Structure 1
């Protein structure tokens, strides 16, 4: 055990004295030391219920023969941070979370980790730490929120709050309804109810084999989630004793499985940042093109919010991720998981309780997976779009550019009615370096949808989107504008062509004209030049590399 370094031998007497000062009984010092990295906070609905899960993890660790030590990891709620300067910190916090887990685990020589997480950047940050440390680890995602209800209809965060802003601005809903939606859309603890980034990453984590079967969709505050938390705590000492480490689980087979499950679910485009970043920490090169390659053979079989109608609770009641694995079994790779069961074993034992929520492959909603990669003279390094959330008549679109150098500029113009049918909204200098922090654009995309323009307006950006975004919204354009990518030289009125089936994103200018403009382009001053974000901007890589720190 790694913890022997701090608890065995004469010279470790002072270390033992300090450990006993924490209340550690002398009878427990020989057991594996298990770190429980908890991201509990009062700030995030997805995390407010974690105190309860901590209790059950603790019971499980003791039952399994380990001794738990809890330590805190910070979290940011993307929904609350969105639409203002706070969103600069969201993606950047992923690296801090990975560094903090690494720092505590290494400094205290922990033998294993239980990673209690839920929301957007916390889950990938913890998985990155697990891959980097390569000590036995198991992830517990705290679970999705139940649906809201108002006058007989179910509610969710995106369409019933973010999109409601645009609807109210256009006079489509009354103030009384707006206020009711504000109170009813999010009824309690848990991650937001659709296949947004938090829930997508929970599903990816389970498909990777890093959490127990059923964990991703088990609802927050449910007894099922409590039992999963207990069993995760019980199993971690077993993983330590058998030296089952993350890199033995998170191999290339596992990452391909995770991507295929993501594609089948129509998950958030943010996975194209997070999955490659986790793979990088696990010592695996996973290029962006892997998503497009696997999309060609992975059908989209669930109709999940935001583009569809089903909530995470529907997916859970239909059988959860094990049922999705059962549907995809012939395409998946067999691999070990933290449960001790292999992927095929989990798939074979799974039951599918709703044939419409998790469709057979021959009745898929789309023949190809939810996320595709577009390239062209606007995105030589690639860009991403959630095609499962784009209507058929917007899969190909040609429009004229209306250009903004920040999200705030774009949002002001959209709400002022300056964005009209036929426009391609261009938001640039919002990439990993330019943002800095690659802010999500849910506010402008939701305003466009709420104002009834999602069938006639497209949006492209070197920033990124929330998992709640729907419509022809293309993000992660690489190289980003701050690096002198072609997006930097687009002007108002330039014709832009989007061809999702053809995987192309182009500004209809000659190479000569593009070259002329690039020669005269001048790099703007950084938006933020102090503190962590200034350091982040200097070190972060492009979106097509997962926005990892170098």
Structure 2
């Protein structure tokens, strides 16, 4: 598929603000000129917004001011006028109760800023887990020409001769302390090795996954996802992105032209091949909802089920994002899918051409990082979508990060009513639990936590860890970090706070997990389940006032993307002209 450019020149949207000699036009131009801008910058050239999630409280994105300057160089070179503007920046590492609660707030900010400002196209600067989907969601709902450039992953960490992955080793070292295999002082010493440069997680966590999803969707220039944050080629990517958005405005190439159903299917398969985060499920469902694409959990299982996981990165494998970049990055993976018949090759990208043209000539420079199919980490990777009486709306599990011996398991439930209950009891030596049990955590979904925090990968009890056990089956309506690992069933829908079956699981109930059969089953009769649900009383009190109340009342379930119900769909870029 090749995009056919629209005629140029044509009247630009920004000329509704700046064109002519009316009182309104003079008002807008005169205020802009107080920044020292020459008059000819308003003569009809494209005005390009740079939507920046830079924040010193969002460490993944704290270097984006530098990238914005490089974008500006490219915009000026291509004959446009760049204008940078800030939007809300939710950080997973510093924002409470959880950044996921504020993804939708960020998306609202982005949408209204793009629609309401005097711009013809927009460059989206993102980096962390939530800013990438939020910016794609907001841009999709406006549908002006848009392109994304990511901040990139941080450099590899190293501690005592061991390669250290941000996030992944946090969980590993924390469990080692509880098991008595690592001292608290050693844990603190390891801290300095976890985040040794600007950028997002250096594992295939949610940030790197979502950068990969943006590239697989066609919303970035090819090769964007894996370039390290501090590599000079990251700055060059920003520069080239600035050039490209000007041409996209001239061609009127919009998100709705790029993010088609085929593009989402490509992204789902790429997620399986890279061993991507389970969080991608929620985020892509939300982005698709904004574009108007009918994407469901069933699409995730249908498209991703038979995709081998060939990227050997933590948490599923052993390498980090630096090695992935040096091996050739995401274009190599996309090419591999195309050669296997698992890619819609004609899907359009921001380049104006089909995705296959971007990748067909790339090479794999390290087949221990990007593995041959016969050596895949998991022959059936992707995201497993489980259903049953415990999750009638679906639940997800990441096979490439799970333990093979637990993929079919029956065990006794040990129930934690919420995260506080879990924290209060998990280290109690009297807790009736062993490695055969199934840990169940309730009330941590979108409404329950609130915001659906990354607590689903519950740490194991110390008395189990001391046996040398490193994994147990865990089930919740929560999320988990993309850097985490284990046999963890997540996003159980409907969530407990909405009265889903998870809400009435009791300690001692038997639970069956069968990943191959895509089944998650609470072993009680239908009559008993119905009686428990009829007697259920909500444990979560609705918040009163502010954004928290809005979130609680209007957030949808994880099976549809956890967006606000009133934000689904594209509302376009029309805005009323004011009069002064």
TM-score > 0.5, shorter chain as reference: yes
Q: Residue 74 of structure 2 aligns with which residue?
A: 60
Unaligned residue ranges in structure 1 (runs of 5+): none
User: Displacement of 1:364 after TM fit?
Assistant: 2.4
Question: In 1, distance between residues paired with 2:47 and 2:467?
Answer: 55
SS in 2 for 1:533: helix
Question: In 1, distance between residues paired with 2:485 and 2:467?
Answer: 12
Question: In 1, distance between residues paired with 2:499 and 2:469?
Answer: 29
Whether 2:287 is the aligned partner of 1:272: answer no
Whether 2:34 is the aligned partner of 1:21: answer yes
SS in 2 for 1:13: helix
1:33-56 deviation line (CA, Å, top 9, x unaligned): 111011111123311221221111
Q: Residue 15 of structure 2 aligns with which residue?
A: 4
Q: Residue 214 of structure 2 aligns with which residue?
A: 205
Residues 1:290 and 1:172: Cα distance change in structure 2 (over 3 Å): same
Q: Residue 491 of structure 1 aligns with which residue?
A: 506
276-285 vs 171-180, greater mean Cα deviation: 171-180
Q: Residue 540 of structure 1 aligns with which residue?
A: 555
44-53 vs 138-147, greater mean Cα deviation: 44-53
Unaligned residue ranges in structure 2 (runs of 5+): 1-11, 566-580
Residues 1:285 and 1:344: Cα distance change in structure 2 (over 3 Å): same
Q: Residue 383 of structure 1 aligns with which residue?
A: 395
Query: Which of these residues, 351, 368, 371, is aligned with residue 383 of structure 2?
Result: 371
Q: Residue 474 of structure 2 aligns with which residue?
A: 459
SS in 2 for 1:398: strand
156-165 vs 215-224, greater mean Cα deviation: 156-165
Q: Residue 293 of structure 1 aligns with which residue?
A: 302
SS in 1 for 2:377: coil
Query: Which of these residues, 404, 409, 416, is aligned with residue 404 of structure 1?
Result: 416
TM normalised by structure 2 equals: 0.91
Task: Give 1 or 2: higher helix fraction.
Answer: 1
Residues 1:290 and 1:47: Cα distance change in structure 2 (over 3 Å): same
Whether 2:342 is the aligned partner of 1:342: answer no
User: Displacement of 1:457 after TM fit?
Assistant: 2.1
Question: In 2, distance between residues paired with 1:443 and 1:79?
Answer: 16
Query: Which of these residues, 253, 258, 261, is aligned with residue 262 of structure 2?
Result: 253
Q: Is the 8 A contact 2:460 2:472 kept in 1?
A: no
SS in 1 for 2:234: helix
Residues 1:454 and 1:325: Cα distance change in structure 2 (over 3 Å): farther
SS in 2 for 1:46: helix
Q: Is the 8 A contact 2:497 2:540 kept in 1?
A: no
SS in 1 for 2:319: coil
Question: In 2, distance between residues paired with 1:160 and 1:502?
Answer: 31
128-137 vs 154-163, greater mean Cα deviation: 154-163
470-479 vs 416-425, greater mean Cα deviation: 416-425
Q: Residue 368 of structure 2 aligns with which residue?
A: 356
Q: Residue 305 of structure 1 aligns with which residue?
A: 314
Question: In 2, distance between residues paired with 1:213 and 1:176?
Answer: 43
Question: In 1, distance between residues paired with 2:506 and 2:460?
Answer: 24
Q: CA RMSD in A?
A: 1.8
1:453-502 deviation line (CA, Å, top 9, x unaligned): 76552111111111022111111101111111110110111111111111
SS in 2 for 1:37: strand
Question: In 2, distance between residues paired with 1:451 and 1:407?
Answer: 23
Q: Is the 8 A contact 1:431 1:480 kept in 2?
A: yes
Q: Residue 476 of structure 1 aligns with which residue?
A: 491
Question: In 2, distance between residues paired with 1:258 and 1:154?
Answer: 28
SS in 2 for 1:433: coil
Question: In 2, distance between residues paired with 1:192 and 1:255?
Answer: 24
Question: Which residues in structure 2 correspond to 1:433-452 (within 5 Å)?
Answer: 433-441=447-455, 444-445=458-459
Question: In 1, distance between residues paired with 2:278 and 2:108?
Answer: 24
User: Displacement of 1:362 after TM fit?
Assistant: 3.6
